[in-house]
Amino acid sequence: MAPKGGFPALPVIEGARFAAAAAGVRYTTGRLDVALMELCAGSTVAAVFTRSATRAAPVLDGEEKLARIATGSAGSGDAGFAIIVNAGNANAFTGAAGSGSVEAVSKAVGERLGIPAGHVFMSSTGVIGEPLKHERIVAVLDGLKSDLDGAALPRAAEAIRTTDTFAKGASAEVAIGGGTVRIAGIAKGSGMIAPDMATMLVYLFTDAPIDQPLLQAMVSRASDRTFNCITVDGDTSTSDTLICGATGKAKGVARLTDAESDDARAFEKALHGVMLDLAHQVVRDGEGATKFVEVRVTGARSDEDARKVALATANSPLVKTALAGEDPNWGRIVMAVGKSGAEADRDRLAIRLGDLTIAEKGWVAEGYREEDGAAYMKRDELVIGIDLGLGDGESVVWTCDLTHQYITINADYRS
Amino acid sequence: MAPKGGFPALPVIEGARFAAAAAGVRYTTGRLDVALMELCAGSTVAAVFTRSATRAAPVLDGEEKLARIATGSAGSGDAGFAIIVNAGNANAFTGAAGSGSVEAVSKAVGERLGIPAGHVFMSSTGVIGEPLKHERIVAVLDGLKSDLDGAALPRAAEAIRTTDTFAKGASAEVAIGGGTVRIAGIAKGSGMIAPDMATMLVYLFTDAPIDQPLLQAMVSRASDRTFNCITVDGDTSTSDTLICGATGKAKGVARLTDAESDDARAFEKALHGVMLDLAHQVVRDGEGATKFVEVRVTGARSDEDARKVALATANSPLVKTALAGEDPNWGRIVMAVGKSGAEADRDRLAIRLGDLTIAEKGWVAEGYREEDGAAYMKRDELVIGIDLGLGDGESVVWTCDLTHQYITINADYRS
Which residue type sits at A67? A
Evaluate whether ipTM surpasses 0.90. no
Is A327–B413 a contact, with Cβ atoms under 8 angstroms apart?
yes
Domain boundaries A16-284, CATH class: alpha beta
What residue spans define the domains of chain A? 16-284, 292-411
pLDDT of residue A413: 52
**Residue A112 half-sphere exposure toward CB, CA atoms < 13 A:** 23
pLDDT (tens digit, 9 = 90+) per residue, A32-71? 999 999 999 999 999 988 877 778 899 999 999 999 998 8
Looking at chain B, how many residues does it have? 415
Distance CA A360, CA A338 (A): 15
Select the residue from B60, B235, B238, B345 to test the A interface by mutation, using most A Cβ atoms within 10 A.
B235
B415 labelled as ligand-binding? yes
Which residue type sits at A55? R
Is B234–A196 a contact, with Cβ atoms under 8 angstroms apart?
no
**Which chain B positions have a beta carbon within 8 Å of A403's beta carbon?**
407, 411
Distance CA A348, CA A276 (A): 32
Binding-face residues of A in 324-353 toward B, CB within 8 A: 324-332, 334-340, 342-347, 349
**Which chain B positions have a beta carbon within 8 Å of A343's beta carbon?**
53
Label residue B42 exposed, middle or buried (CB < 10 Å: 0-12, 13-18, 19+): middle
Sheet holding B179-188, edge to edge: B44-49, B241-246, B201-206, B179-188, B168-176
Are the C-beta atoms of residues A400 and A310 closer than 8 Å to each other?
no
Checking if the pLDDT of A131 tops 60, the result is yes
Are the C-beta atoms of residues A11 and A247 closer than 8 Å to each other?
no
> How far away is chain A from the Cα of B250, in angstroms, using its nearest Cα?
40
State the CB neighbour count (10 A cutoff) for residue B96. 12
**Which chain B positions have a beta carbon within 8 Å of A95's beta carbon?**
347, 361-363
Which residue type sits at B112? R
Return the H-helix or E-strand segment holding B245: strand B241-246
Which residue type sits at A315? N
pLDDT of residue B24: 93
pLDDT of residue B233: 66
Which residue type sits at B168? K
Contacts of A76 (CB under 8 A, 6+ apart): A115, A116, A118, A119
pLDDT of residue B129: 82
State the CB neighbour count (10 A cutoff) for residue A375. 14
Distance CA B23, CA B134 (A): 10
Across chain A, how many H-helices and E-strands are there?
12, 16
pLDDT of residue B224: 85
Cα-atom radius of gyration of chain B, to the nearest Å? Answer: 22
Which string of DSSP letters, residue by residue, matches A146-207? HH-BTT-HHHHHHHT-SS-SS-EEEEEEEEETTEEEEEEEEEE-SSS--SS--S-EEEEEE-
pLDDT of residue A236: 60
Binding-face residues of B in 164-193 toward A, CB within 8 A: 191-192
DSSP A237: -
3-state helix, strand, coil in chain B (%, to 5): 35, 25, 40
Is B95–A361 a contact, with Cβ atoms under 8 angstroms apart?
yes
pLDDT of residue B382: 96
Checking if the pLDDT of A380 tops 70, the result is yes
Are the C-beta atoms of residues A388 and A344 closer than 8 Å to each other?
yes
pLDDT of residue A339: 82
Task: Give residue B389's pLDDT band: very low, low, confident or very high (50, 70, 90).
Answer: very high
Task: Give residue A324's pLDDT band: very low, low, confident or very high (50, 70, 90).
Answer: very high
pLDDT of residue A341: 87
Checking if the pLDDT of A231 tops 90, the result is no
Which residue type sits at B301? R
Is B414–A327 a contact, with Cβ atoms under 8 angstroms apart?
yes
Is A129–B330 a contact, with Cβ atoms under 8 angstroms apart?
yes
> How far away is chain B from the Cα of A345, in angstroms, using its nearest Cα?
7
A52: closest chain B residue by CA: B338
Share of chain B above pLDDT 90, in %: 64
State the CB neighbour count (10 A cutoff) for residue B7. 16
Checking if the pLDDT of B196 tops 60, the result is no
Select the residue from A26, A50, A54 to test the B interface by mutation, using most B Cβ atoms within 10 A.
A54
> How far away is chain B from the Cα of A415, in angstroms, using its nearest Cα?
6
In 3D space, the residue among A263, A265, A244, A268 whose CA is nearest the CA of residue A253 turns out to be A263
Which residue type sits at B28? T
Q: What are residue A135's DSSP bridge partners?
A: none
Q: Which of A93, A338, A362 sits opposite B95 (nearest CB)?
A: A362
Is B234–A53 a contact, with Cβ atoms under 8 angstroms apart?
no
pLDDT (tens digit, 9 = 90+) per residue, A137-152? 999 999 999 999 999 9
Distance CA B305, CA B312 (A): 11
Checking if the pLDDT of B199 tops 80, the result is no
State the CB neighbour count (10 A cutoff) for residue A325. 21
Distance CA B383, CA B293 (A): 6
State the angle between helix axes of A404-411 and B404-411 in degrees (0 to 180), rounded to the nearest 10.
Answer: 170
The domain defined by B292-411 folds into Ubiquitin-like (UB roll) (3.10.20)
Phi, psi angle pair for A188, to nearest 5°:
-140, 150
pLDDT of residue A200: 80
**Which chain A positions have a beta carbon within 8 Å of B55's beta carbon?**
338, 346
Select the residue from B339, B369, B371 to test the A interface by mutation, using most A Cβ atoms within 10 A.
B339
pLDDT of residue A391: 97
How many inter-chain contacts (A to B, CB under 8 Å) are there?
235
Are the C-beta atoms of residues A343 and A337 closer than 8 Å to each other?
no
> How far away is chain B from the Cα of A199, in angstroms, using its nearest Cα?
10
Are the C-beta atoms of residues B385 and B351 closer than 8 Å to each other?
yes
In 3D space, the residue among A162, A211, A241 whose CA is nearest the CA of residue A410 turns out to be A162
Distance CA A72, CA B55 (A): 55
Instruction: Report, as an integer, the average pLDDT of B166-183.
Output: 93
pLDDT (tens digit, 9 = 90+) per residue, A113-123? 999 999 999 99
Checking if the pLDDT of B206 tops 70, the result is yes
Label residue A221 exposed, middle or buried (CB < 10 Å: 0-12, 13-18, 19+): middle
Q: Which residues of A are catalytic?
A: 199
Distance CA B176, CA B171 (A): 16
State the angle between helix axes of B212-225 and B262-284 in degrees (0 to 180), rounded to the nearest 10.
Answer: 40
Q: What are residue B149's DSSP bridge partners?
A: B18
B94 labelled as ligand-binding? no
Distance CA B225, CA B237 (A): 18
Instruction: Report, as an integer, the average pLDDT of A257-266.
Output: 93
Checking if the pLDDT of A245 tops 60, the result is yes
Select the residue from A128, A339, A412 to test the B interface by mutation, using most B Cβ atoms within 10 A.
A339
A410 labelled as ligand-binding? yes
B162 labelled as ligand-binding? yes
Are the C-beta atoms of residues A307 and A206 closer than 8 Å to each other?
no
Is A415–B342 a contact, with Cβ atoms under 8 angstroms apart?
no
B290 is catalytic: no
β A381-387/A292-300 pair status? parallel
> How far away is chain A from the Cα of B330, in angstroms, using its nearest Cα?
8
In 3D space, the residue among B131, B127, B132 whose CA is nearest the CA of residue B199 turns out to be B127
State the angle between helix axes of B57-70 and B212-225 in degrees (0 to 180), rounded to the nearest 10.
Answer: 140
Checking if the pLDDT of B65 tops 50, the result is yes
Share of chain A above pLDDT 70, in %: 94
**Which chain B positions have a beta carbon within 8 Å of A375's beta carbon?**
none
**Which chain B positions have a beta carbon within 8 Å of A55's beta carbon?**
338, 346
**Fold matches, B16-284 and B292-411:** no
Checking if the pLDDT of A412 tops 80, the result is no
Are the C-beta atoms of residues B373 and B356 closer than 8 Å to each other?
yes
What are the start-end ranges of the E strands in A287-414? 292-300, 350-353, 356-360, 363-364, 381-387, 393-400
Contacts of A139 (CB under 8 A, 6+ apart): A23
User: CA distances (Å), B369 to each of B242, B275, B329, B357, in order?
Assistant: 45, 38, 12, 10
Are the C-beta atoms of residues A338 and A330 closer than 8 Å to each other?
no
In 3D space, the residue among A201, A388, A184 whose CA is nearest the CA of residue A271 turns out to be A184
A329 labelled as ligand-binding? no
Q: What are residue A184's DSSP bridge partners?
A: A171, A205
A415 labelled as ligand-binding? yes
Is A325–B415 a contact, with Cβ atoms under 8 angstroms apart?
yes
